[in-house]
Amino acid sequence: MASFEDADRQQREWAHRAQASQAAAAQAYARLLDMAENRDSGQIRRIARFLASTFNGEAFPFDLFELRAVDVEISDDMLACLDALRWAKADLHKLVPDGEKRVLAVIEAWGLQWPQSD
């Protein structure tokens, strides 16, 4: 049976991992947003879909096999974002200045469609 000290140590370790993950994701998310706002290519369309999915995964599902279709640096940034989502300390768009506004602009600029409500 785990002792109180073991449980406390594990909680501190998880808190540290979550904080480090969130810090890395903030930088990665900012880079991805910048690319989606300022570049145009097939890879960037995938980035836009990824950003939309992190904003609203039900409205904008993302096929994880898309990670294979982007450069390694881009997929590394996407994976950093997914790691932060796992820890669920903050919505990714809240980690960057004007994140919600910027993601919504990317969704619109790339012509991603919100699902029709019935």
Domain-embedded: residue 116: no
Domain-embedded: residue 52: yes
Instruction: Name the nearest CA neighbour of 91 among 55, 115, 117, 63.
Output: 55
pTM of the model: 0.88
Domain-embedded: residue 36: yes
Taking all residues of the chain, what is their mean pLDDT, rounded to a whole number? 92
Please say whether the beta carbons of 34 and 7 come within 8 A.
Answer: no
Domain that holds residue 60: 7-109
How confident is the model over 13-18, as a mean pLDDT? 87
How confident is the model over 6-18, as a mean pLDDT? 87
Judged against a pLDDT cut of 70, whether residue 2 lies above it is answered with no
Altogether, the residues listed in the chain come to a count of 118
Domain-embedded: residue 114: no
Structure tokens at 67: 């990670």
What is the pLDDT at residue 1? Answer: 56
Domain-embedded: residue 118: no
Q: How far apart are CA 51 and CA 41, in angstroms?
A: 15
Instruction: Name the nearest CA neighbour of 50 among 26, 33, 34.
Output: 33
**How many domains are contained in the chain?**
1
Domain-embedded: residue 1: no
* 29-55 pLDDT tens trace: 999 999 999 998 889 999 999 999 999
What is the pLDDT at residue 118? Answer: 63
Judged against a pLDDT cut of 90, whether residue 11 lies above it is answered with no
Judged against a pLDDT cut of 70, whether residue 106 lies above it is answered with yes
